[in-house]
Amino acid sequence: MEITIVFILGLIIAFIGVIPPGMLNMSAAKISLKEGHNRGIMFSLGVCAIVCVQTFIAAILARYLSNHPDVIEILQRVALVLFILITIYFLVLAQKQPKTEIPTPAKSKHSRFFQGMLLSGLNLFPIPYQSYMTLTIASFGWMSFDKVSIGSYVAGSASGTFIMLYIYIFFFDKIKGKAFTTQKNMNYIIGSITGLVAVFTLINIISEM
């Protein structure tokens, strides 16, 4: 019974974490729009593969972080730099985007899978997020740090992430052709969102000084 609860908690927490539009879910939607559902799903599976690793690391670090709050401050600063770089990348990419796009050959499913792994690996936010949430649910006695509980939580996190990515793919397929789903505007959307996250992260760091 405890394993089922841990799995559901992991699913819900990951699901909520991916709800805000961001680099991964917007990229999954964009790939699906340009190249079809299958490649969007392969990208999402690549993301989930890294989510499993990140969630596992987060659970292992949770006990350490509970006794070393200064580590959380370091992770915040790393995330700030990362979000700033991502924001610059997507805003510059959007500005350079030509008005008339030349169709490019569709990449293989395997390349999209590894692209999902790469982008997910660049996103370090899930590690502090999952560490905090793991500590929280453990403090309520809903989860222990044994191998079975951690494995169940990791599986739930991967499932929750995939479900939300698929919702993005499905949603954007229904509204394709709208102005804001063009590649240029989607790059602006992703860049703007990561920029806001960077601002909030900076405010949080300054407030804790």
The pLDDT of residue 105:
41
Judged by DSSP in three states, 124 sits in coil
Query: Tens of pLDDT along 173-201?
Result: 665 555 444 556 656 666 676 677 678 66
Residue 67 has pLDDT above 80, yes or no: no
Among 20, 48, 14, smallest CA distance to 134 is for 14
**Collapsed DSSP state (helix, strand, coil) of residue 106:** coil
**What pLDDT digit, counting tens, does each position of 24-58 carry?**
888 888 888 888 888 889 999 999 999 999 999 98
Is pLDDT at 21 greater than 80 in this prediction? no
pLDDT for 1-16, tens place per residue? 578 899 999 999 888 8
pLDDT for the residue 110: 61
pLDDT band at 162 (very low <50, low <70, confident <90, very high): very high
This model's pTM is above 0.75: no
- Of 46-50, 109-113, 135-139, 143-147, which gets the smallest average pLDDT? 109-113
With the CA atoms of 200, 204, 207 and 209 taken in that order, what torsion angle do they form, in degrees rounded to the nearest 10? -130
Cβ neighbours of 193 (radius 10 Å): 19
Predicted confidence at residue 185, as pLDDT, reads 63
